[in-house]
Structures are given as C-alpha cells and as structure tokens.
Structure 1
C-alpha cells in the first residue's frame, strides 16, 4: 500500500466474531455486536494458546502411554513449599451438601433450581446436546435467570413454571477445551466452545450476578494439567478487566 493511501477495512482487532448459524427471534439479545466483539477478543488472545495446549495434551498422553509417570514439576516447587491459602469461599458456595446437574433447557432449569438441592450445575456439555439452538437458547435462559425473569409456560398442558423464593445456587459448566463452536468463527476459524460459552455468559450476566452475590460461578470440566487451569485463570483475569 502506497504512502497516503487508505482502506475502509475495520482494524483487525475491531472485527467481530462472525455468526454462521441461523438467527432466530430472540437470538439478538445474546449475539449483540459488543458480545461478538468480546468473543473475538477472547479467541484472538487465547485461541492459539488453547490449540498449543491441546497439542501438549496429546504429546503428554503419548509419553504416559510409553511408561512415563506423572510427577511434580521442579519449577513449581516454590508453590508446594510455601505457606499460603486460597481466598475465602463465597457465602453462596459454603453449603454444597446436595448438588444436581442438568441441561440448560428452560423448563428443566426451573425444575432443577426449585428441586431443594443446594447447588445446580447448568451444563452446556455432557448433559446438553450442543446444537446451535440449544447453546443460544441456553444462553437466553441464563440471561433471563440473572434478571429474575426465568419462567416457562407449557401451552399443551396449560401449566406455568416459575422460580420459588428459595432456589439452588447455580454453577455454569462451559464445554471443554477440546471442543469448538462451528457456528461462530473468528478470522475464518471456528472459535473455542469453552470461550464461547463462558464469554457469552460472563459478558451478559457477570456483573449482575456478582452484585447479587450469587455468582458468576463456573465448573470447568476435563482439565488435564496445570497449564489448562492456568489458561482459564488468564481468561478470567482478562474478562474481569474487560467487563470491569
């Protein structure tokens, strides 16, 4: 490009994530331009690290298959040898005597939250068939829950479902690091399903849940090393800074 020339292209860091799936009524509540920009930022910052980590996971498994045994890392000895403690447990998580899990289906979420259990893990992965509709409608349900407007009417049975005054504390389980969301792409590549689920949830609901003292809480599935946990920590730190 010659000096003084210009382009109408949006700078790369301002290009939104691209929605490849169909847009049904209500999806615009979740797939807002700002939310898609946040997803793009997450994928561009952490997508390569995730892919490298998955390669490391495979290499590590091959070493184990050939007889190598898990061991502690010398470079983390200072952590194991030091005197330290984790942050206090939030009040909402102190009583976890009974926990249940289930999909992010609207009626099933209401029933689970009303079940009398202390905790309900809303699962975007194993308990949920991760179709495009189920993922986005699950996010809509999370959005409504955070705003005290989660209800459901079964027109066939003429029955209304709503939350009781006392409900379970909700944990959200995003999909694992190994999965991708093909219906949302960033720079032509399907984005991480983990970052998609987490990103949409915390972007829309994080502040509201924190102000109420009921979250956001996440159950992170299928971690295989400290590197994978550390990557999540980096994601959390970035999200907190981005959202404020």
Structure 2
C-alpha cells in the first residue's frame, strides 16, 4: 500500500502496483484521453481571462440553457452512495503515480475495484466535464457495464458557476449534482459567494440535480 496526499491535505492510500489487466486498462485511458486533457488545460488560461472581464453566460451554449432536459434519475440509495464516494485528483494536477497521470490512476484504481461513485474535482468549465464524461462512457463500455453505472458529484469553483447548466448537461447520465468548492467562499467575498450559490441552486433545481452544500456538509434535494 502506498500513501499520498490529496488536494486538501488529506491522507490517501492506494495500491502501488496495478495488476496487469488494470494496467492495460489505464494505458488505454491514457492513450485515448491524455492529449485531450493537455489541450483543455492549455485553454484554462483563456477561459480565466474571459471571466476576468466579467462572468457571463456563453452565447454558443444558449440552446443547452434553454433546453428541456434533466439529469438522469437520482438513485434511491443516494445516502449510501454519498458515504461510498471516492475523491479523484484533478485533471490539472501534474502529479504522477508509477508514470501515469494521478487523476486517471485514481479512477482506474477505484473503478476496477467496483467503486463507481466519485467526487469529481475541480471542474472549471463544461469541456472538462465532457472529457470526464467521455472517460466514463469509455470505461463502462470497456467493462460492459450499463451507461450511468458511474455516478459523480461535480465539484466546481466560482468561475464555473455560470456554466452549471452546461456542466450538468455534459455529465447528465452520470451526475447526481454539484458542490461548490470550499475556496469559492473566499473568491470575491461572502456576498459574491451567496449570489453564486443561488445561481447553482436554481440551476440544479431546474435540472433535477442535487446540491452538496459544503457550508453545512449535507446533500440537499432541490
């Protein structure tokens, strides 16, 4: 067993060596999605510059915001699922485990141990949500599991709040809902956080998704 540290300083434990079948699966994930991840990280700077000029909804995704759709039905065992969720390391982290990207390693290590419920950190835009969704679809097909077996809570920061609709849409077969990251409470002050929280909650209510409220450490139905 190898010990490492998560994004918030918590201790993480994981198997140091994957079995051959798991390693082959991880290699396939790296092959299909590694370059796309690098491309998206390069675009983060552009996204952040646009946000610095003032947050706004994207014109090119207007049809998603105005569309009549919801996330997939929330399972009845949601409370049990919340306890079982595993935290993945973010796509933006360059940390590697045995030569593999830590976020994909974490996913492989848990997914192939039949852990299908995850906290998905920290999503900054809908394209990153789409990449994770593509990984989930590929993994479920690879293992011959039904679409939607994987369920996630997407952790987003304040920059991504204006894309809550789009993030839920990209993950709609797999997403239970969203949680605002803890750092969002310090970005722009309390008033700004409350406004952002209101946008997220209203969007989740419309899309029949859940909001994980880190101020009260509870999952609330909207």
TM-score norm. by structure 1 comes to 0.49
Aligned to 2:128: 228
Look up the match of 2:71.
Answer: 86
| TM-aligned CA deviation for residue 204 of structure 1 | 2.6
User: 1:62: Cα distance to partner?
Assistant: 3.4
C-alpha RMSD of the superposition: 2.2
Q: Distance in 2 between matches of 1:79 and 1:241?
A: 26
Q: What are the within-5 Å matches in structure 2 for residues 164-179 of structure 1?
A: 169-179=83-93
**1:1-244 to 2 correspondence within 5 Å?**
27=15, 31-65=18-52, 68-93=53-78, 95=79, 169-185=83-99, 191-206=100-115, 216-244=116-144
The structure 1 segments of at least 4 consecutive aligned residues displaced by more than 6 Å after TM superposition are none
CA distance in structure 2 between the partners assigned to 1:62 and 1:73 by the alignment: 14
SS in 2 for 1:180: coil
Hey, which of these two has a bigger chunk of helix by percent? Answer: 2
CA deviation string 1:173-232 (max 9, x = no partner): 1001111343322xxxxx3211110112112325xxxxxxxxx21111111111111111
Distance 1:42 1:27, change over 3 A: same
Given that 2:88 and 2:103 are in contact with CA atoms closer than 8 Å, whether structure 1 keeps it comes out as yes
CA distance in 2, matches of 1:177, 1:222: 8
If asked which structure has higher relative contact order (CA below 8 Å, sep 6+), I would say 1
Structure 2 gap segments, 5+ residues each: 1-13, 145-222
Instruction: Give the structure with the larger strand fraction.
Output: 2
Q: Structure 2-normalised TM-score?
A: 0.53
How many residues of Structure 1 are paired with residues of Structure 2 in the alignment? 131
> Tell me, what secondary structure is at the counterpart of 1:89?
coil
Contact kept? 1:181, 1:196, Cα under 8 Å: no
Distance (Å, rounded) in 2 between the aligned partners of 1:234 and 1:83 = 22
Unaligned runs of 5+ in 1: 1-25, 96-117, 121-168, 186-190, 207-215
Q: Call closer, same or farther: CA 1:205–1:87 in 2, change over 3 Å.
A: same
CA contact (8 A) 2:97 2:105 kept: no
